[in-house]
Chains A and B, each alone.
Chain A
Amino acid sequence: MTTFNLPDLGEGLAEAEIVRWHVSAGDIVKVDQPMVAVETAKAVVEVPSPYSGRIKALHGKPGDVVATGAPLVDFDVQAGGAGASPPATRVATPHKPAPQKAEPQAANDSGTVVGSMPTSDEELIETAVAGSDIASPRERVRAAPAVRALAKRLGVDLATLRGTGRGGLITVDDVMNTSGPTFAYGAATVTALKAAPASARSGPSSAPPSGEPEKLRGLRRAMAQSMSLARDNVMNCTLFDDADLHDWRKGEDFTIRLLRAIGVAAAAEPVLNAWYDGENQTRRPMARVDVAMAVDTPDGLLVPVVRDVGKRSIAELRADVDRLKRGARDRTVAPEDLRDFTFMLSNFGMIAGRYATPVVVPPAVAILGAGKLSHDVVAVMGGIEAHLRMPLSLTFDHRCVTGGEAARFLAALIRDLERGS
């Protein structure tokens, strides 16, 4: 026989009054089945059965006051076939414990005056380290969420980028400049050329012709490939005009003035500073003007890129151009300096030639050719004068640029170029 004593139903309440019994002696009851309603100083409370079994005896009748801890019900837990229902056992991490059970008033302390206290003898084994002892340097990519989202959308792996922002932070520009088809004029061969000794390079123009067929290599082969690509894909259309440099003072820097004028023209007509994906007929106007400058070398054409010509000072541009030219000539130019231009400039006039039909290299959509300067006879108001003039040839990809856009670009370029300084 098991005796169930009246549990403490409130917070330290000493007694309760029986209101009514729901069961009688001899009944078979299940765990949680309401047995008796008792009234405490606080409320009327239903007392559920803690066991499954047969009730042997009830202690007290309605109206009786029972002291907390005094016998309430005697059970025969063997009867009913259910056996004793153990108190709800709980594991270290309570998941969904069984509904509340009135714990049998055992000799040991239940640990609470309300509800039921989850209890176990399970031992907690843990290693708790106070504070932080992370000594390893940050290896993670640092980028704003918007940049991460952009990179994800464009399929750019941020881990491959070198951030140009504060503290190596990867910026929107870093992602934009990397996304899409990375291209470089001859860049693929730069590493090979750097490794090759000077004597192994395709000979300079001074070498006597061998009369033998020569496999194109290096820069020359790259040129052949990109020109074929351009021929097959680009609809080249060229505009010619002259810039009158009569207002220039002595010592103006032609290359820098050209770069600056391209920046101004790109601001006026941004569609010429863009990439065009002919396959998907997608045009991407670029925020930054990165001009690839053709540099003639004994090995062939090398096209290093001057970045952001629209925003940088003359001195900065000059330093960059010198660095790139030097790098192109002695083959130390870095691959990243040969990649991802948005516009091209050919200064062929330094050697000879007034006009040309330069070829657009996709995905860029325009190229400017600057011809040989000459003093031309110019008709001016009230007579004729000799002015220094620069012949200009602007080739654009007519698939995505209109003649009007190209002409407006050229007009803006000439306007800036003709300024006194």
Chain B
Amino acid sequence: MAKVTMIEAINCAHAWEMAHDPTVVVLGEDIGINGGVFRATAGLQEKFGVDRVQDTPLAEGMIAGMSIGMANQGLRPIAEIQFMGFIYPAMDQIANHMARMRHRTRGRITCPIVVRMPHGGGIHAPEHHSESLEAMLAHHPGLRVVCPSSPARAYGLLLASIREPDPVIFLEPVRLYRLVRQEVADDGQALPLDMCFRLREGSDVTLVTWGAMTFEVMRAAEQLQSDGVSCEVIDLATLSPIDHDTILESVAKTGRLVIVHEAPRNCGIGAEIAATVAEHGLYDLQAPIKRVTGYDTIMPLFRLEYDYIPSVARIMDAVRETLAD
């Protein structure tokens, strides 16, 4: 595969797995004829037919419920929720059935389902189209929550998610869909789930983030480097379960931690990371843990969108504060 955008990488991962695993089916709103509102599933119906690529009514609860039924009968559905704000009607099926089917049946029935959806803001979309609800999902036992931050990880982690025997919520940073291109080999190679990815090695401070915020964080790290501050950047990638070991080892090395996420601060995944480092890495910390997050308010409409999303300047300020302590 040539240099592709994230949306193309996601499309390729679908196509690869559908070609190699006849049980993989795709369903969602506008995903068939239209190819998905972001074109993630473009061309799949033409290639694999309407039986395997099904347009559904505007009924997220039904999409999730149908996926559970399909999965229980031996298929591997990939369901698309058009925007993250639309997941709420599906939460009953996801939380009460999808996440606990294995537990309920003592492992007899599993739900090999991927529920894909765009994540976060930054594309000037209207209300309900820019949410970052990963903490709500991560709070449910039985769900794996994954969020790639590059075309290569979108490809590799989506393949891994489809091959998982248990449900995966796959969050796609909408702002990154077409932001950059990356050389990705369309070779069916999955990347490991439940593992962080270290995007930058550093010694002064550990920056943990995921999804679209990796771009702001990487840029902040580059600018701080010219000030002589060496940042280690960790992309969480799998938001639940969290690869705490990698974070703790990095904090043991740097002694400082800044967590960056777009979602609101209150009860966010950043709080979970901070609590775990406080429990297991307290004696390595040389300064209080900092969080740079969205605000505890509704994601604003598009003119204020970038006042809400943590900026490079806010991240750099937090790093400087933690270094001053």
Give A105 Cβ to nearest chain B Cβ, in Å.
Answer: 16
Kindly state the separation between the CA atoms of A122 and B178 in the bound complex, as whole angstroms: 10
**Per-residue interface assignment for chain A, residues 97 to 113, with 1 indicating a CB less than 8 Å from any chain B CB and 0 otherwise:** 10110000000010111
Q: Which of A53-61, A88-96, A208-216 contacts B (4 or more CB under 8 A)?
A: A88-96
Residues of B228-266 contacting chain A, CB below 8 A: 235, 243, 245-246, 249-250, 252-253, 255
Give B304 Cβ to nearest chain A Cβ, in Å.
Answer: 11
Which one of A118, A120, A127, A129 lies within 8 Å of B123 (CB-CB)? A118
Interface size class of B (residues with CB under 8 A): 35 or more
Closest to A88 in B: B124
Kindly state the separation between the CA atoms of A268 and B113 in the bound complex, as whole angstroms: 71
Q: Which of A70-78, A139-147, A340-348 contacts B (4 or more CB under 8 A)?
A: A139-147
Kindly state the separation between the CA atoms of A143 and B286 in the bound complex, as whole angstroms: 8
* Contact between chains at B34 and A12 (CB < 8 Å): yes
Residues of B97-132 contacting chain A, CB below 8 A: 122-126, 129
* Contact between chains at B253 and A100 (CB < 8 Å): no
Kindly state the separation between the CA atoms of A117 and B38 in the bound complex, as whole angstroms: 9
Say yes or no for A121: interface residue by CB 8 A criterion: yes
Closest to B248 in A: A132
Q: Which residues of B are found within 8 Å of A121, using beta-carbon distances? A: 181
Q: Which residues of B are found within 8 Å of A11, using beta-carbon distances? A: 30, 37, 82
Kindly state the separation between the CA atoms of A124 and B192 in the bound complex, as whole angstroms: 20
* Contact between chains at B179 and A112 (CB < 8 Å): no
Say yes or no: A134-B215 contact (C-beta < 8 A), given A114-B129, A129-B198, A148-B286.
Answer: no
Say yes or no: A140-B255 contact (C-beta < 8 A), given A97-B306, A132-B250.
Answer: yes
Say yes or no for A169: interface residue by CB 8 A criterion: yes
Say yes or no: A130-B191 contact (C-beta < 8 A), given A111-B178, A118-B175, A124-B181.
Answer: yes
* Contact between chains at A124 and B151 (CB < 8 Å): yes
* Contact between chains at B123 and A142 (CB < 8 Å): no
Give A70 Cβ to nearest chain B Cβ, in Å.
Answer: 19
Kindly state the separation between the CA atoms of A112 and B196 in the bound complex, as whole angstroms: 29
Total interface residues on A, using CB and 8 Å? 44
Kindly state the separation between the CA atoms of A186 and B152 in the bound complex, as whole angstroms: 67
Say yes or no for A281: interface residue by CB 8 A criterion: no
Q: Which residues of A are found within 8 Å of B195, using beta-carbon distances? A: 130-131
* Contact between chains at B302 and A115 (CB < 8 Å): yes
Give B6 Cβ to nearest chain A Cβ, in Å.
Answer: 9
**Per-residue interface assignment for chain A, residues 123 to 166, with 1 indicating a CB less than 8 Å from any chain B CB and 0 otherwise:** 11111111110101010101111001000000000000000000
A112-B177, A140-B255 known; 11 new pairs, CB 8 Å cut-off, are: A92-B180, A95-B306, A95-B312, A97-B306, A99-B302, A109-B39, A120-B180, A124-B150, A124-B181, A132-B246, A132-B250
Nearest 8 Cβ contacts at the A-B interface: A115-B124, A115-B125, A132-B246, A124-B180, A115-B123, A128-B197, A100-B124, A142-B283
**What are some 28 contacts across the A-B interface (CB < 8 A)?**
A90-B179, A92-B180, A92-B215, A93-B215, A93-B219, A97-B124, A97-B306, A99-B124, A100-B302, A109-B39, A111-B177, A114-B37, A115-B123, A115-B124, A115-B126, A120-B180, A121-B181, A124-B182, A126-B150, A127-B199, A129-B197, A130-B191, A130-B197, A132-B246, A134-B249, A134-B252, A134-B253, A145-B285
